[in-house]
Amino acid sequence: MSKKSLAMVGACAAAAALTLTACSEGMGGDGETGDILRFSLNQTEEHPSYIALDHFSDRLEASTGDRWSIDIYPNETLGAQAEALQLVSDGIIDMAVVSGAQLANLNQDFTVYNLPQIFEDVPHQMEVVNEPSSITTDLFTSLEDSQNITVLGGLTQGTRSVYTTFGPVETPDDLAGKKMRVQESSLNIAMAQALGASATPMAFGELYTGLQSGVVDAAENNEVSYFTQKHFEVAPYFTYTNHLVGLDYVIINTDTLQKMSDDDRELFRQEWAETWQEHTDLWEEATQEAVQGAKDGGATFTKIDTSRFDDRLQKLADQSITTDFQQALWDDARRQTGQD
Ligand code: GCU
């Protein structure tokens, strides 16, 4: 049995345990009988993504007169993001949040929005991905034929920084010989190396134990995940390397989206627009609360001069663009900063 089939069996078993009954049929219905969109999320119920998506469900139900609603399964209940991606593609579940790293494994062009230094800040990122130009729309529909996946838009991951079990890091030299957990993609492996560490790809849900047991010495993420996943308990040194404004995507099975009536699809898109805006509004406060919560739990937050990291990351960004389409995506995003 292939690795992929094994992952599917595991995920279907998890789904069955949750009395999701249709492991061989699509879950999205025709919107006539009150259809429920099964949604996989790897965050906790305290995370802004869960809160905003939960409100998405409430509003969708109200605006479509109960024809459509969303059931969110948080905490990797339906599997890690790699499995969730496959389940959406196969129509076993309908929707998921997946990090840019996961989509880059299906289409390298997604790497561009994962590059260090493409987005100035969260508002710039949200404008590029949620008020999409035609080239961004081409990217977001690029998986429809091959994977049956449509990208609805993005939720920010805020700015990602490094945290460790052993102490603050001032320069890339401090990470030499250290193992850093990364998301599972070639760009993320190269990024850890650019930061000075050696890379260990690992699913998000395995990271707490990975840090606790010493399988890895470091990781990188935003303050919100650092706190809500309790990583501060086992890696109490957070250093502001600010190496990436990270991006999550909300994806939906293309057949499910097509099954909606035109009116319901329009309502769905309108409620989605409210959702990413609410998520962005929640983000800053959640970040402040996370920092305070982690400090209360004993973590330290260190600000540094990031120039030695920045130089290496700029080189990585330059090397990672290899096609005209990728260059056009980069140029289009940078044009929206008004600076390049
Ligand atoms: C962030 C992001 C997740 C991602 C995680 C990771 O928390 O929101 O979607 O899975 O980082 O590093 O794996």
Q: What is the pLDDT of residues 149-161, one digit of tens each?
A: 999 999 999 999 9
**Centre of ligand 1 from the C-alpha of residue 159, in Å:** 12
Asked which of 16-20, 128-132, 134-138 is least confident by mean pLDDT, the reply is 16-20
How confident is the model over 300-315, as pLDDT tens digits? 999 999 999 999 999 9
Q: Could you give the percent of the chain with pLDDT greater than 90?
A: 89
- The finding on whether 229 has its CB within 6 A of some atom of ligand 1 is no
Mutational pocket test of ligand 1: of 44, 204, 247, 276, the residue with most ligand atoms within 8 Å of the beta carbon:
204
- The finding on whether 227 has its CB within 6 A of some atom of ligand 1 is no
**Count: domains in the chain:** 2
Q: Can you say whether the dihedral through the CA atoms of 48, 332, 89, 103 is positive or negative?
A: negative
Residue 9 reports pLDDT greater than 50 = no
Atom of ligand 1 nearest to the CA of 98: 9
Please report the pLDDT score of residue 339 as a whole number: 58
**Centre of ligand 1 from the C-alpha of residue 223, in Å:** 11
Q: Are 316 and 182 part of one and the same domain?
A: yes
- The finding on whether 102 has its CB within 6 A of some atom of ligand 1 is no
Mean pLDDT of the chain: 92
- The finding on whether 249 has its CB within 6 A of some atom of ligand 1 is no
How confident is the model over 256-294, as pLDDT tens digits? 999 999 999 999 999 999 999 999 999 999 999 999 999
User: Domain range spanning residue 119?
Assistant: 3-157+246-285
**Centre of ligand 1 from the C-alpha of residue 262, in Å:** 33
Please report the pLDDT score of residue 34 as a whole number: 83
- The finding on whether 220 has its CB within 6 A of some atom of ligand 1 is no
Q: Are 228 and 259 part of one and the same domain?
A: no
CATH number at residue 194: 3.40.190.170
**Centre of ligand 1 from the C-alpha of residue 263, in Å:** 33
Q: Are 107 and 165 part of one and the same domain?
A: no
Q: Are 170 and 65 part of one and the same domain?
A: no
Q: Are 88 and 50 part of one and the same domain?
A: yes
Q: Are 220 and 238 part of one and the same domain?
A: yes
